[in-house]
Amino acid sequence: MSECIFCQIADKEMDAAVVYEDDAVMAFDDIMPQAPVHTLIIPKEHHAHIGDAVSAETLLALFAAVPKVAEIKGVAESGYRVIVNNGDDAAQTVGHLHVHVMGGRQMAHGMVRFSDET
Ligand code: DGP
């Protein structure tokens, strides 16, 4: 079994609330949601970061899934935020490339908070 939890989810070795799946990607609800809708989309192939030789095909599949997930989760019309935390300074905590789709509530302008700010 892979040590990567998102690989385990992609391989169906670990449970997740799956929202969408195709040959290349899987989308499932975040276990610690930070918005009423908070779904993660992962490539089934393991890549830690966006720069790790991810093929254009995989990147396309990842982002093509975004509006599908938004539609399924009911935020296509209201709007949603799409975030990729990439690497340490971005506070990426799971080392398997993933896209956050977040919505369901009006967000404030601005999207960056630094760790030395209160
Ligand atoms: P990031 O900081 O961008 O690496 O976000 C990782 C997200 O993954 C974080 O919001 C929590 C979520 N997460 C971590 N472990 C699990 C898990 O086992 N299942 C699910 N569904 N989400 C997880």
pTM of the model: 0.97
* Domain 5-103, CATH: 3.30.428.10
In the reported structure, the alpha carbon of residue 68 is separated from the centroid of ligand 1 by a whole-number distance in angstroms of 20
User: Which amino acid appears at position 54 of this protein?
Assistant: V
pLDDT tens-digit profile, the chain (118 residues): 789 999 999 999 999 999 999 999 999 999 999 999 999 999 999 999 999 988 999 999 999 999 999 999 999 999 999 999 999 999 999 999 999 999 999 999 988 889 998 7
Domain ranges of the chain: 5-103
Alpha-carbon span 93 to 73, nearest angstrom: 24
Cβ neighbors of 60 (< 8 A, separation 6 or more) are none
Query: For atom 18 of ligand 1, which residue has the closest CA?
Result: 5
Cβ neighbors of 91 (< 8 A, separation 6 or more) are 85, 115
User: Which amino acid appears at position 65 of this protein?
Assistant: A
Helix or strand or coil: residue 25? strand
User: For a pocket test of ligand 1, which of 32, 82, 113 has the largest count of ligand atoms closer than 8 A to its C-beta?
Assistant: 32
State yes or no: is 98 an active-site residue. Answer: yes
Up-side HSE of residue 43: CA atoms within 13 Å toward CB?
Answer: 22
DSSP type of residue 89: G
